[in-house]
């Protein structure tokens, strides 16, 4: 199940996203990616910078039904399992400034978010 970092307020969730983004930029820069003036990671197309394909942030926090704010856990990307140094994955690295956040898995049973009015006969 997909896991999320859970915060009581949007401000705290955004602070976590900002901290993740700051460390992610370090990793992307080290991997040869350019960062634009707004802090977005510029993607590469055929090995060249492509400003039309940028990554502006790790996630946009969302408020679930109980009022808490959630941010996707960096482990959600398989590539973040890669180690940046022995014993430290990319996910570990970008979370180093987050302390010990509450981590919960979305049960996908409608308790976190109301089910959409799915169209079917």
Partner 1 sequence: MPARFGARRLGGRILWSPLLLGSSLAAWWSALQSSSITLAGSNVTAWASIVGGISATQVTGANQPTYAASGLNGLPTISFNGSSSYMTANVAQSASWSVQAVASTASLASYGSIITSDNDPARMAQYLRIETGGAIGSITFNTGGSFSLAATSTTVLTNTPFVCAAIRSATVQSIAAYLNDGGQGSATPTGTAQALTQVIRLGAQTNTPSLFLNGKISDLILVNRALTTLERQKMAASRAWAFGVQSSLDASTPYRSSPPRASLAELEQWADEHGWRVIDLAAHREQARRIYTPPRLLIVPHHGWRIAA
Binding stretches for partner 1 (CB under 8 A): 2, 24, 28, 31, 33, 40-41, 43-46, 50, 52-60, 72, 76-79, 106, 113, 116-121
Q: How far is the CB of 11 from partner 1 (least distance, A)?
A: 19
* Minimum distance from residue 32 beta carbon to partner 1 (Å): 11
Handedness of CA 118, 1, 67, 95 (dihedral sign): negative
CB atoms within 10 A of CB 24: 19
Q: Which two tokens stand for residue 21?
A: 């983004």
Q: At its nearest, how many Å lie between partner 1 and the CB of residue 54?
A: 6
Residue 56 has a CB neighbour count (10 Å cut-off) of 11
Two tokens, residue 116: 């959409």
- Cβ 14 to partner 1, closest distance in Å? 13
Question: What whole-number distance in Å separates Cα of residue 38 and Cα of residue 113?
Answer: 31
Residue with smaller CB distance to partner 1, 19 or 28: 28
Nearer to partner 1, 15 or 54 (CB): 54
The smaller minimum CB distance to partner 1, of residues 6 and 59, is found at 59
CB distance 64 to 113 below 8 Å? yes
């Amino acid at each position: 199940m997909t896991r999320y970092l859970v915060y009581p307020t949007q401000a705290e969730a955004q602070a976590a996203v900002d901290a993740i983004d700051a460390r992610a930029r370090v990793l992307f820069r080290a991997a040869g990616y350019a960062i634009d003036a707004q802090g977005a990671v510029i993607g590469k197309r055929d090995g060249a910078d492509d400003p039309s394909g940028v990554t502006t942030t790790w996630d946009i926090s969302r408020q679930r039904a109980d009022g808490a704010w959630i941010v996707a856990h960096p482990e959600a990307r398989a590539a973040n399992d890669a180690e940046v140094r022995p014993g430290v994955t990319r996910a570990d690295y970008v979370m180093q400034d987050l302390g010990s956040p509450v981590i919960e898995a979305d049960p996908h049973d409608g308790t976190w978010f109301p089910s959409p009015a799915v169209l079917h006969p």
